Structure 1
Amino acid sequence: MSEKEKMLVGELYDPTDDELVQLRLNARLLTEELNATSVACQDKRVEIIKRLFGTTGDNIYIESSFNCDYGANIHVGDNFYANFGCVILDVAEVKFGKNCLLAPQVGIYTATHPLDSIERNSGLECAKPITIGDNCWIGGHAVINPGVTLGDNVVVASGAVVTKSFGNNVVIGGNPAKVLKEISAKL
């Protein structure tokens, strides 16, 4: 199994592997190009995002600066918006449903490290995927940790640190995040 295959299935992998180094370089070059492209050139920015991300829906808008590890492991649905300073560490897959909004300085981190110090000091890493449902809004400076799944219609309060998964129709906040309120659907 290649280091990339190990990485994508959540096993320990070597991030210094030549293929992974090249893939990260490609993503850095594309994010550099995106961040240097004028907001007046929206078609060009979307074209760069489509080359960077694994899959995209329609109506994508990302404010600069934006950073990610690989890009190819990010999948967004229709009507995706990321505000200034978004960081997505997409070592594992990060999937967004449709109509998702990310406020400024949101961090979404699939990357993690072994708890055992000897194993961690070896340089090996691992990752856990993150899934965000439809119609989600993630507030400013919120952090979504490895392995989290958020259901549909979830609002994450500003500054929240999300360490576990949550179902549909909730407002979550705090550190660690907990349910603050249930959301009733308006018909």
Structure 2
Amino acid sequence: MPQHKESMVITMTEEEKIMAGVLFSPADPELKKIKLRTHNLNLDYNRTYEDEVEKRQELIRQIVGEIGPGGFMQGPIFFHYGVHTRIGKNFFANFNLTVQDDAAVTIGDHCNFGPNITIVTPIHPMLPNERDEIRDKDGNIKRLCYAKPVHIGNHCWLGANVVVCSGVTIGDGCVIGAGSVVVKDIPPNSFAAGDPCTVIREITEKDSMKYKPEILADNQVIE
């Protein structure tokens, strides 16, 4: 008699669904546990004094998935999952950094963030009835969303009140003007600004401070 192979059903955890870019339930108990831990650690960090350097470093290592040496976050900070964020070395963030890292957020080396920077990865269905209710594979009615990762390259400067939206990649060496809403990829070495954020021009050697002696004053550019 012919043998019938049973089809294998792969069951993903809700966190695996996030990383796969498919609908997931933010109310899943395991996800809520991760978020609660991180939210409490955010509060611990935000209660510290600026000169409590070692305490802050220990807390941020517990909050994010990875961070290189030489980082400083002015605070307050607001990470959603935290563990989904990886940050390179010599990172600086001014007041009110918000990272809603449902999906992965990667920030490169030597990045500088102005105050009130927001990075968001989750996306909700456009239709209101689908935002309220979607039936899962088991027939349960849930509120579901999905998420797309954000990648910010090395040596980027984000001005005050920049919002980086889900699925965006900002290339190395970019400057993003204050108040911009970044909804699409920005190529490397670009000055971009606006809502929506668009490339204004390429950043070149002509932008060097040595061509602005009135601002450079008695300082020297390192060649």
Shared topology, TM-score over 0.5?
A: yes
Identity %: 35
Match for 1:148: what amino acid? V
Unmatched tracts of structure 2, length 5 or more = 1-11, 134-142, 209-222
Which residue of 109, 118, 126 maps to 2:120?
Answer: 109
Please, which of 1, 16, 26 is the counterpart of residue 5 of structure 1? 16
Number of equivalences? 187
Distance 2:90 2:130 in 1: 41
| 1:65 aligned partner | 76
- Match of 1:131, SS? strand
If the length of structure 1 is used for normalisation, what is the TM-score?
0.97
* Structure index of larger Rg: 2
Partner of 1:181: 201
- How far residue 59 of structure 1 moved from its aligned partner, in angstroms, is 0.7
Match of 2:33 in 1: 22
Quote the residue 1:35 is aligned against. Answer: 46
Structure 1: which 5+ residue stretches go unaligned?
A: none
Offset at residue 117 of structure 1 (A): 2.5
1:183 partner letter: I
Q: 1:111 Cα deviation (Å)?
A: 1.4
Residues in 2 aligned to 1:111 and 1:42: alpha-carbon distance in whole angstroms: 32
SS of equivalent to 2:65:
coil
Q: Distance in 2 between matches of 1:145 and 1:20?
A: 21
Cα drift, residue 147 of structure 1: 0.2
1:121 matches 2:132 = yes
Superposition deviation, residue 8 in structure 1 = 2.0
RMSD: 1.1
C-alpha deviations, 1:132-172, integer Å up to 9, x for none?
00000001001000000010000000000100001110010
